[in-house]
Amino acid sequence: MIVKEFNIESSTYFGIECDKKVFSKKSQFQKIDVYYSKFFGNILMLDQCFMISQKNSEDYHLKCLELVGNKRKKNVCIIGGGDFGIVHHILKNKITHNIDLIEIDKDVIEVSKKYFNHYFKYVNHNNVNIIVDDGVKWIKKRKGLKYDVVIIDSTDPNDISKKLFSKSFYELVYNNLKSNGIFIQQSGSPVLHAKKIINPTIKKLNKVKFTNITCHKFSMPLYPLGVWSFIKCVKA
């Protein structure tokens, strides 16, 4: 079977040949599907969009790790990222032993534990604090130590995640970062989303007084057109 993702910006389909569907569920927030492909292994889809796979698509996580840097960090916050791919690489490379992960959809975590369990190899109750909550609401009410790094590993802006691309949210992130703290956000395709996501995000971050704002492109064979991006900036 050919499993397809429709891209509305380019009016094109991106398809992957899969052997079978191994899981399907409508959670409180989104439709979750897992397919199996000989090339990619298990593939996670959220609302008919490809997210991660077991193999041949680590570029996303490795690019994020590169942007975090290899210097040890005391406290890291990841909003989204319930598949634990970024968590896995941060722990594997001993960047930190203190991660707060805030995921709105507990079913994404449970499905990932079953079908992408290699990402949970280094996870224990001492190094990852798993919080099932709305990331915006959580960071708004949060009090405590400030972070060295905040990472937004979300879907592209939709009814649920669009708040994570707002100026008011960036202000909350800024206030929860240490001086010289790093903020990283997935920012879609540089080909398809420059006007819709990348340019507006950079403008909002500038208004919040983030500095060293840069967009980083990388190959991602699991995503439409095969190229994706992160935006990185620093709290002054």
Catalytic site positions: 153
**Cα 187 from Cα 153, distance rounded (Å):** 9
Q: How many beta carbons lie within 10 A of that of residue 221, not counting itself? A: 14
Cα-flanking dihedrals φ and ψ of residue 35, to 5°?
-115, 160
**Cα 183 from Cα 171, distance rounded (Å):** 11
- Yes or no: say if 105 and 82 are a contact pair by the CB < 8 Å rule: yes
Q: How many beta carbons lie within 10 A of that of residue 86, not counting itself? A: 25
Exposed, middle or buried: residue 24 (CB in 10 Å: 0-12, 13-18, 19+)?
Answer: exposed
**Cα 51 from Cα 190, distance rounded (Å):** 17
Compute the C-alpha angle 149/141/185, nearest 5°: 30
Cα-flanking dihedrals φ and ψ of residue 141, to 5°?
-95, -5
Positive or negative torsion for Cα 154, 110, 70, 217:
negative
DSSP 90: H
57 in helix, strand or coil? coil
